[in-house]
Amino acid sequence: MKEQQLIWEWTAANEVRQRTTERSQLQAGQVEIAISSIGICGTDLHILSGEAGFSNPPLPLGHELAGIVTQVGEHAGDWKVGDRVCIDPLIGCGRCPACRAGNKHHCPQGGEIGLHYAGGWQQYLIVPADNIYLVPDSVTLDEASQAETIHCCLGAVDKLHIRLGMAATVVGDGPTGLYFVQLLKAAGASPVTLIGMQSSRLALGEQLGADVIVNLSEPDGQSMPAADTQSIVIEAAGEETALRTAISLLGKGGQLLLFGLPAVPVAVDIQSIVMKELRLLGSTNDPHVWPRVLQMIESGAVRVEPLITQRYHFGELDEALSFVRNNPQQAIKVIVNLDQ
Protein backbone atom coordinates (compact mmCIF):
# COMPACT_ATOMS: atom_id res chain seq x y z
CA MET A 1 0.00 0.00 0.00
CA LYS A 2 1.18 3.51 -0.83
CA GLU A 3 1.86 5.90 2.00
CA GLN A 4 -0.81 8.42 2.89
CA GLN A 5 -0.48 12.13 3.55
CA LEU A 6 -2.63 15.07 4.64
CA ILE A 7 -3.32 17.90 2.23
CA TRP A 8 -5.41 21.07 2.19
CA GLU A 9 -7.26 21.84 -1.01
CA TRP A 10 -8.99 24.89 -2.39
CA THR A 11 -12.39 23.34 -3.17
CA ALA A 12 -14.68 26.28 -4.09
CA ALA A 13 -14.75 30.08 -3.82
CA ASN A 14 -13.27 30.95 -0.41
CA GLU A 15 -13.48 27.33 0.74
CA VAL A 16 -10.68 24.93 1.71
CA ARG A 17 -10.89 21.32 2.92
CA GLN A 18 -8.42 18.95 4.49
CA ARG A 19 -8.23 15.36 3.26
CA THR A 20 -5.95 12.35 3.05
CA THR A 21 -4.35 11.37 -0.28
CA GLU A 22 -1.74 8.91 -1.46
CA ARG A 23 1.81 10.24 -1.64
CA SER A 24 2.93 10.58 -5.28
CA GLN A 25 5.72 8.47 -6.76
CA LEU A 26 9.06 10.12 -7.37
CA GLN A 27 10.27 10.29 -11.00
CA ALA A 28 13.80 10.75 -12.33
CA GLY A 29 15.08 14.32 -11.93
CA GLN A 30 12.76 14.99 -8.99
CA VAL A 31 13.09 15.36 -5.24
CA GLU A 32 10.50 14.93 -2.51
CA ILE A 33 10.31 17.65 0.13
CA ALA A 34 8.68 17.34 3.55
CA ILE A 35 7.17 20.81 3.76
CA SER A 36 8.01 22.68 7.01
CA SER A 37 7.00 26.30 6.34
CA ILE A 38 4.30 27.76 4.15
CA GLY A 39 3.82 31.51 3.75
CA ILE A 40 0.28 32.77 3.23
CA CYS A 41 0.28 35.30 0.41
CA GLY A 42 -2.20 37.82 -0.97
CA THR A 43 -2.09 35.80 -4.19
CA ASP A 44 -3.48 32.77 -2.29
CA LEU A 45 -6.48 34.84 -1.16
CA HIS A 46 -6.96 36.11 -4.69
CA ILE A 47 -6.97 32.55 -6.10
CA LEU A 48 -9.25 31.33 -3.28
CA SER A 49 -11.80 34.03 -4.12
CA GLY A 50 -12.14 32.36 -7.53
CA GLU A 51 -11.35 35.61 -9.35
CA ALA A 52 -7.70 35.04 -10.29
CA GLY A 53 -8.35 32.81 -13.30
CA PHE A 54 -5.01 30.92 -12.88
CA SER A 55 -6.57 27.54 -12.21
CA ASN A 56 -9.66 25.69 -11.02
CA PRO A 57 -10.46 23.83 -7.80
CA PRO A 58 -9.81 21.30 -6.40
CA LEU A 59 -6.15 22.26 -5.96
CA PRO A 60 -3.70 22.50 -3.04
CA LEU A 61 -2.27 26.05 -3.16
CA GLY A 62 0.93 27.27 -1.47
CA HIS A 63 3.93 28.75 -3.30
CA GLU A 64 6.06 30.24 -0.46
CA LEU A 65 7.69 27.03 0.67
CA ALA A 66 10.62 25.58 2.57
CA GLY A 67 11.26 22.10 3.92
CA ILE A 68 13.55 19.11 4.11
CA VAL A 69 14.56 16.71 1.33
CA THR A 70 13.10 13.24 2.04
CA GLN A 71 13.74 11.43 -1.26
CA VAL A 72 16.10 12.02 -4.18
CA GLY A 73 15.26 10.57 -7.60
CA GLU A 74 17.68 9.31 -10.22
CA HIS A 75 19.51 12.06 -12.14
CA ALA A 76 18.48 14.60 -9.49
CA GLY A 77 21.95 15.98 -8.81
CA ASP A 78 23.79 15.69 -5.52
CA TRP A 79 20.90 16.49 -3.19
CA LYS A 80 20.87 14.50 0.03
CA VAL A 81 18.06 13.36 2.29
CA GLY A 82 17.98 15.89 5.14
CA ASP A 83 19.06 18.92 3.08
CA ARG A 84 17.16 22.05 4.17
CA VAL A 85 15.80 23.75 1.08
CA CYS A 86 13.46 26.39 -0.26
CA ILE A 87 11.47 25.92 -3.43
CA ASP A 88 11.36 28.04 -6.58
CA PRO A 89 7.76 27.44 -7.69
CA LEU A 90 8.31 28.42 -11.32
CA ILE A 91 8.31 25.65 -13.90
CA GLY A 92 9.17 26.20 -17.57
CA CYS A 93 8.91 23.75 -20.47
CA GLY A 94 12.72 23.46 -20.60
CA ARG A 95 12.78 23.44 -24.41
CA CYS A 96 11.68 26.87 -25.70
CA PRO A 97 14.20 29.65 -26.50
CA ALA A 98 13.33 31.49 -23.23
CA CYS A 99 13.91 28.38 -21.09
CA ARG A 100 17.13 27.55 -22.93
CA ALA A 101 18.38 31.07 -22.23
CA GLY A 102 17.69 30.54 -18.51
CA ASN A 103 14.59 32.74 -18.58
CA LYS A 104 11.89 30.25 -17.60
CA HIS A 105 9.81 33.17 -16.29
CA HIS A 106 9.31 34.12 -19.96
CA CYS A 107 8.33 30.59 -21.04
CA PRO A 108 5.02 30.72 -22.95
CA GLN A 109 4.11 27.34 -21.40
CA GLY A 110 5.39 28.26 -17.93
CA GLY A 111 3.43 27.96 -14.73
CA GLU A 112 3.86 27.98 -10.95
CA ILE A 113 3.56 25.42 -8.21
CA GLY A 114 0.69 26.60 -6.03
CA LEU A 115 -0.83 28.85 -8.70
CA HIS A 116 -1.22 26.70 -11.81
CA TYR A 117 -0.06 23.33 -10.45
CA ALA A 118 -0.57 21.58 -7.10
CA GLY A 119 1.23 23.58 -4.42
CA GLY A 120 2.70 23.03 -1.00
CA TRP A 121 -0.41 22.70 1.16
CA GLN A 122 0.69 19.08 1.52
CA GLN A 123 2.93 17.19 3.91
CA TYR A 124 5.11 16.02 1.00
CA LEU A 125 5.64 17.80 -2.29
CA ILE A 126 7.54 16.44 -5.30
CA VAL A 127 9.35 19.06 -7.38
CA PRO A 128 12.04 19.10 -10.09
CA ALA A 129 15.49 18.93 -8.47
CA ASP A 130 16.42 22.16 -10.31
CA ASN A 131 13.72 24.04 -8.38
CA ILE A 132 15.29 23.82 -4.92
CA TYR A 133 17.98 25.88 -3.22
CA LEU A 134 20.01 24.93 -0.16
CA VAL A 135 19.17 27.09 2.85
CA PRO A 136 22.18 28.38 4.85
CA ASP A 137 22.43 26.88 8.39
CA SER A 138 21.80 30.20 10.11
CA VAL A 139 18.59 30.87 8.14
CA THR A 140 15.40 29.32 9.52
CA LEU A 141 12.98 27.49 7.23
CA ASP A 142 10.31 30.09 8.09
CA GLU A 143 12.66 32.79 6.79
CA ALA A 144 13.56 30.64 3.79
CA SER A 145 9.87 30.30 2.84
CA GLN A 146 9.98 34.05 2.20
CA ALA A 147 12.82 33.77 -0.31
CA GLU A 148 10.08 33.35 -2.95
CA THR A 149 8.55 36.76 -2.24
CA ILE A 150 11.94 38.43 -1.87
CA HIS A 151 13.16 36.91 -5.15
CA CYS A 152 10.30 38.66 -6.97
CA CYS A 153 11.31 41.94 -5.31
CA LEU A 154 15.02 41.54 -5.98
CA GLY A 155 14.36 40.61 -9.62
CA ALA A 156 12.35 43.83 -9.89
CA VAL A 157 15.01 46.01 -8.20
CA ASP A 158 17.64 44.49 -10.53
CA LYS A 159 15.76 46.06 -13.45
CA LEU A 160 16.27 49.58 -12.04
CA HIS A 161 19.32 51.74 -12.57
CA ILE A 162 20.14 52.81 -9.01
CA ARG A 163 22.94 55.12 -7.94
CA LEU A 164 23.83 55.99 -4.36
CA GLY A 165 21.66 58.81 -3.06
CA MET A 166 18.81 58.50 -5.56
CA ALA A 167 15.49 59.40 -3.91
CA ALA A 168 13.15 56.40 -4.04
CA THR A 169 9.57 55.80 -2.90
CA VAL A 170 7.65 52.58 -2.37
CA VAL A 171 3.87 52.87 -2.61
CA GLY A 172 2.22 49.98 -0.73
CA ASP A 173 3.00 48.72 2.79
CA GLY A 174 2.38 44.98 2.31
CA PRO A 175 5.17 42.40 2.70
CA THR A 176 6.55 43.21 -0.77
CA GLY A 177 6.62 46.93 0.06
CA LEU A 178 8.55 46.15 3.26
CA TYR A 179 11.05 44.01 1.32
CA PHE A 180 11.41 46.72 -1.34
CA VAL A 181 12.31 49.25 1.36
CA GLN A 182 15.11 46.99 2.58
CA LEU A 183 16.42 46.27 -0.93
CA LEU A 184 16.39 49.94 -1.91
CA LYS A 185 18.32 50.81 1.25
CA ALA A 186 20.81 48.04 0.52
CA ALA A 187 21.18 49.42 -3.01
CA GLY A 188 22.05 52.87 -1.65
CA ALA A 189 18.86 54.78 -2.52
CA SER A 190 18.35 57.75 -0.21
CA PRO A 191 16.04 58.89 1.15
CA VAL A 192 13.69 55.91 0.91
CA THR A 193 10.02 56.80 1.49
CA LEU A 194 7.29 54.26 2.26
CA ILE A 195 3.69 55.24 1.57
CA GLY A 196 0.85 53.12 2.97
CA MET A 197 -2.42 52.96 4.88
CA GLN A 198 -1.66 50.78 7.94
CA SER A 199 0.16 52.38 10.85
CA SER A 200 1.60 49.07 12.17
CA ARG A 201 3.12 48.19 8.80
CA LEU A 202 4.49 51.70 8.33
CA ALA A 203 6.08 51.59 11.77
CA LEU A 204 7.74 48.33 10.78
CA GLY A 205 8.87 49.92 7.52
CA GLU A 206 10.60 52.63 9.54
CA GLN A 207 12.24 50.00 11.75
CA LEU A 208 13.45 48.21 8.60
CA GLY A 209 15.11 51.33 7.24
CA ALA A 210 12.55 53.64 5.58
CA ASP A 211 13.75 57.23 6.07
CA VAL A 212 10.27 58.69 5.65
CA ILE A 213 6.86 57.09 6.17
CA VAL A 214 3.58 58.53 4.91
CA ASN A 215 0.26 57.28 6.28
CA LEU A 216 -2.46 58.05 3.73
CA SER A 217 -5.19 57.19 6.23
CA GLU A 218 -4.15 60.17 8.36
CA PRO A 219 -3.78 63.82 7.34
CA ASP A 220 -0.05 63.62 6.76
CA GLY A 221 0.70 66.29 4.18
CA GLN A 222 4.02 67.07 5.89
CA SER A 223 5.99 63.98 5.11
CA MET A 224 4.71 63.26 1.57
CA PRO A 225 7.60 63.94 -0.83
CA ALA A 226 7.01 66.88 -3.15
CA ALA A 227 5.77 66.18 -6.67
CA ASP A 228 8.41 65.64 -9.36
CA THR A 229 11.21 64.82 -6.88
CA GLN A 230 11.70 61.04 -6.93
CA SER A 231 14.16 59.21 -9.18
CA ILE A 232 12.50 55.85 -8.52
CA VAL A 233 8.98 54.87 -7.48
CA ILE A 234 7.91 51.27 -6.95
CA GLU A 235 4.15 50.70 -7.17
CA ALA A 236 3.53 47.73 -4.88
CA ALA A 237 -0.13 48.31 -4.08
CA GLY A 238 -1.85 47.52 -7.36
CA GLU A 239 -4.28 50.44 -6.99
CA GLU A 240 -5.19 53.21 -9.41
CA THR A 241 -4.69 55.91 -6.78
CA ALA A 242 -1.25 54.48 -5.91
CA LEU A 243 -0.30 54.59 -9.57
CA ARG A 244 -1.45 58.20 -9.80
CA THR A 245 0.66 59.07 -6.74
CA ALA A 246 3.65 57.23 -8.21
CA ILE A 247 3.51 59.15 -11.50
CA SER A 248 3.10 62.50 -9.76
CA LEU A 249 6.06 61.92 -7.41
CA LEU A 250 8.51 61.01 -10.17
CA GLY A 251 10.85 63.66 -11.50
CA LYS A 252 11.92 63.95 -15.13
CA GLY A 253 13.61 60.84 -16.42
CA GLY A 254 12.37 58.89 -13.38
CA GLN A 255 11.84 55.15 -13.24
CA LEU A 256 8.44 53.67 -12.44
CA LEU A 257 8.53 50.04 -11.43
CA LEU A 258 5.10 48.44 -11.71
CA PHE A 259 4.84 45.49 -9.36
CA GLY A 260 1.31 45.54 -7.85
CA LEU A 261 -1.44 43.87 -9.85
CA PRO A 262 -4.61 45.96 -10.15
CA ALA A 263 -7.73 43.76 -10.23
CA VAL A 264 -9.18 45.78 -13.11
CA PRO A 265 -7.74 47.95 -15.91
CA VAL A 266 -6.87 51.40 -14.57
CA ALA A 267 -6.70 54.89 -16.08
CA VAL A 268 -3.12 56.11 -16.53
CA ASP A 269 -1.89 59.69 -16.97
CA ILE A 270 0.02 59.13 -20.20
CA GLN A 271 0.67 62.82 -20.68
CA SER A 272 2.79 63.02 -17.52
CA ILE A 273 4.65 59.83 -18.49
CA VAL A 274 5.54 61.30 -21.88
CA MET A 275 6.31 64.81 -20.70
CA LYS A 276 8.50 63.61 -17.79
CA GLU A 277 10.12 60.96 -20.02
CA LEU A 278 9.47 58.28 -17.40
CA ARG A 279 10.76 54.77 -17.84
CA LEU A 280 8.14 52.08 -17.10
CA LEU A 281 9.20 48.62 -15.95
CA GLY A 282 7.00 45.62 -15.19
CA SER A 283 8.32 42.69 -13.17
CA THR A 284 7.16 39.27 -11.94
CA ASN A 285 9.70 36.51 -11.20
CA ASP A 286 13.43 36.19 -11.80
CA PRO A 287 14.97 32.72 -11.66
CA HIS A 288 18.52 34.19 -11.62
CA VAL A 289 18.42 35.89 -8.23
CA TRP A 290 17.72 33.04 -5.74
CA PRO A 291 21.31 32.54 -4.51
CA ARG A 292 21.66 36.27 -3.84
CA VAL A 293 18.33 36.33 -1.99
CA LEU A 294 19.50 33.59 0.38
CA GLN A 295 22.81 35.37 0.83
CA MET A 296 21.01 38.62 1.74
CA ILE A 297 18.79 36.85 4.27
CA GLU A 298 21.87 35.15 5.74
CA SER A 299 23.82 38.40 6.02
CA GLY A 300 20.87 40.28 7.53
CA ALA A 301 20.72 42.76 4.63
CA VAL A 302 17.10 41.67 4.26
CA ARG A 303 15.24 40.86 7.46
CA VAL A 304 12.30 38.47 7.37
CA GLU A 305 11.52 37.62 11.00
CA PRO A 306 10.07 41.09 11.89
CA LEU A 307 7.46 40.62 9.14
CA ILE A 308 6.21 37.32 10.57
CA THR A 309 3.28 38.31 12.75
CA GLN A 310 1.50 34.98 13.34
CA ARG A 311 2.22 31.29 13.08
CA TYR A 312 -0.36 28.51 12.70
CA HIS A 313 -0.08 24.76 12.66
CA PHE A 314 -0.84 22.91 9.41
CA GLY A 315 -4.08 21.55 10.91
CA GLU A 316 -5.26 25.17 11.31
CA LEU A 317 -4.49 26.32 7.77
CA ASP A 318 -8.14 27.31 7.25
CA GLU A 319 -7.95 29.53 10.37
CA ALA A 320 -4.71 31.09 9.13
CA LEU A 321 -6.43 32.03 5.86
CA SER A 322 -9.43 33.61 7.58
CA PHE A 323 -7.14 35.50 9.93
CA VAL A 324 -5.20 36.98 7.01
CA ARG A 325 -8.43 37.83 5.19
CA ASN A 326 -10.07 39.53 8.18
CA ASN A 327 -7.14 41.21 9.96
CA PRO A 328 -5.03 43.21 7.48
CA GLN A 329 -3.90 45.49 10.32
CA GLN A 330 -2.42 42.66 12.43
CA ALA A 331 -1.41 40.12 9.79
CA ILE A 332 1.68 41.14 7.85
CA LYS A 333 3.10 37.69 7.05
CA VAL A 334 1.43 34.58 8.42
CA ILE A 335 3.37 31.30 8.36
CA VAL A 336 1.87 27.82 8.56
CA ASN A 337 4.17 25.19 10.08
CA LEU A 338 4.36 21.41 9.79
CA ASP A 339 6.27 19.30 12.31
CA GLN A 340 9.22 17.51 10.72
Binding to Zn ion by residue 52, rule CB under 5 A? no
For Zn ion, which residue of 93, 224, 268, 301 counts as binding (CB under 5 A)?
A: 93
Which residue lies nearer to Zn ion by CB, 93 or 224?
Answer: 93
Which residue lies nearer to Zn ion by CB, 63 or 185?
Answer: 63
For Zn ion, which residue of 60, 67, 92, 175 counts as binding (CB under 5 A)?
A: 92
Binding to Zn ion by residue 99, rule CB under 5 A? yes
Query: In the bound complex, what is the minimum distance in angstroms from residue 64's beta carbon to Zn ion?
Result: 5
Binding to Zn ion by residue 96, rule CB under 5 A? yes
Query: In the bound complex, what is the minimum distance in angstroms from residue 110's beta carbon to Zn ion?
Result: 6
Query: In the bound complex, what is the minimum distance in angstroms from residue 175's beta carbon to Zn ion?
Result: 8
CB atoms within 10 A of CB 82: 8
The full DSSP string for 17-77 is: EEEEEEPPPP-TTEEEEEEEEEEE-HHHHHHHTT-S-S--SSB----EEEEEEEEE-TT-T
Rounded Cα distance, 283 and 136, in Å:
27
Query: In the bound complex, what is the minimum distance in angstroms from residue 320's beta carbon to Zn ion?
Result: 14
Q: Which residues on neighbouring strands pair with residue 6, listed in sequence order?
A: 20
For Zn ion, which residue of 38, 90, 107, 126 counts as binding (CB under 5 A)?
A: 107
Binding to Zn ion by residue 41, rule CB under 5 A? yes
**Residues ≥6 apart with Cβ < 8 Å to 261:** 238
* CA-based end-to-end distance of the chain: 23
Binding to Zn ion by residue 61, rule CB under 5 A? no
Rounded Cα distance, 277 and 159, in Å:
17
305: burial class by Cβ within 10 Å (0-12, 13-18, 19+)? exposed
Q: Which among 70-78, 104-112, 185-193, 300-308 is the span making contact with Zn ion, rule CB under 5 A?
A: 104-112
Query: In the bound complex, what is the minimum distance in angstroms from residue 308's beta carbon to Zn ion?
Result: 14
Query: Could you give the residue ranges of the DSSP H alpha helices within the chain?
Result: 42-48, 97-100, 141-145, 147-158, 175-186, 199-207, 240-249, 270-275, 290-299, 317-326
Query: In the bound complex, what is the minimum distance in angstroms from residue 190's beta carbon to Zn ion?
Result: 28
Query: In the bound complex, what is the minimum distance in angstroms from residue 109's beta carbon to Zn ion?
Result: 5
Q: Which among 7-15, 33-41, 243-251, 296-304 is the span making contact with Zn ion, rule CB under 5 A?
A: 33-41
Q: Which among 39-47, 183-191, 229-237, 303-311 is the span making contact with Zn ion, rule CB under 5 A?
A: 39-47
Binding to Zn ion by residue 119, rule CB under 5 A? no
Query: In the bound complex, what is the minimum distance in angstroms from residue 95's beta carbon to Zn ion?
Result: 6
CA 133 to chain centre: 16
Q: Which of 222, 74, 228, 87 is nearest to 149 (CA)?
A: 87
Q: Which among 3-11, 93-101, 251-259, 296-304 is the span making contact with Zn ion, rule CB under 5 A?
A: 93-101
Q: What residue ranges bind Zn ion (CB under 5 A)? A: 41, 43, 92-93, 96, 99, 107
